[in-house]
Amino acid sequence: MGGRSMGVTVERPTPALRGVYRRLAARPAWVICALFVVGATLGRALDVSLPPSIRYLPLAASVVVFGLPHGAIDYLVPARVDDCSPPRSMAAVGGLYAVFGGAYAVLWLITPLAAAAGFIALTWFHWGQGDVHALVAFVEADHLDSTGLRVTTGGVRGGLPMFVPLLAFPERYRTVVDSWVGLFGTDVSAMWLFAGGTRLVGGAVFLTVSVGVLLVGYRRDGGRGWQVDAGETALLWLFFLTVPPVVAIGVYFCVWHSLRHVLRVVAVDGTGTRTGTGPVTPRSVVVSSAREAAPTTALALVFLVGFASLVPVAPASTASGAAVYLVFVAVLTLPHVAVVTWMDYREGIWWG
């Protein structure tokens, strides 16, 4: 992939940490997602479906299992990337969350439909950027050798969790978005977005782009990195086409996206772990990251309770309770994306 690009001040993960990535993030995510695909396919064939309350379990688990905590370690990032003091690092990230998160919370109160659309677009971008980083830094995908190819790959990877469920489960997708804006006394009125014709055209375009970007990558370098990229893209297409959206997003958030970010923050440590001088292992990564995330995760839960008391329509069901959590995650996502985008710049992720 060439030499270091302008602005790059962070080294790539060590071979040991790339091994931890494979054992802790890549392989388990593949197995878990594949099992859910098999389970969902069998359930559909046998006409068996999960009770609504069970569908929310993966999302509920994300409160403590990597989902919410993965952003709770953002306060470490400036200290590790710029080697500034921990107090300065905490103050910078805390201020960012207060300003960006506060502004986005106000937007939800003023114009929830625009805020919801922004959340989908922001998450599309962010989950795509997370996968591009993993491919470039951990997988060493040499086929992603240009900015254009990385940007397009990010668009595909982000669209898999944010757009493909709309193709397969339009009513459930609309119900989830309705539950967000319903907390603020409105509903989704753009029914044309969920119409069959719109989904057919959109799905055809997105599939074409998905295949096209892989073909271009194959022509650049069809080695192991491309094989991982193609395999993950195919798996995620199947996963989000077959697994109901609430279940799929909860599982993906915990075992795919969040774990990769945790390992990214560990990687910029330089030594690979803050737990001591021992070797970097999956266990050391989980233990150290859990300890570092615990205080800010607890603080986030306090803010979540306060946020729930401020929404105009009080949650009265599992679905509306989950909606409060997701809107709160949306508020945290904007400053989190700002932190991650700054990391992208410092690591030169988008420069081929």
Q: Which residues contact 217 (CB under 8 A, 6 or more apart)?
A: 141, 143, 144, 149, 153, 226, 229, 230
257 among annotated binding-site residues: yes
pLDDT tens for 56-80 read 999 999 998 888 999 999 999 999 9
Query: Is 70 labeled as ligand-binding?
Result: yes
Cα separation, 71 vs 331, in Å, equals: 12
Domain layout of the chain by residue ranges: 15-46+57-347
Measured between alpha carbons, how far is 106 from 181 in angstroms, rounded to an integer?
Answer: 13
104-145: pLDDT as tens digits: 999 999 999 999 999 999 999 999 999 999 999 999 999 999
Q: Read off the amino acid at residue 46.
A: L
Closest by Cα among 183, 159, 128 to 328? 183
Give me the mean pLDDT over the 274-293 stretch.
81
Sign, CA dihedral 68-72-78-83, equals: negative
Mean pLDDT of the chain: 91
Q: Per residue in 36-53, pLDDT tens?
A: 999 999 999 999 988 888
**Joined tokens for residue 43:** 């359930």
Residue with tokens 């700054």: 342
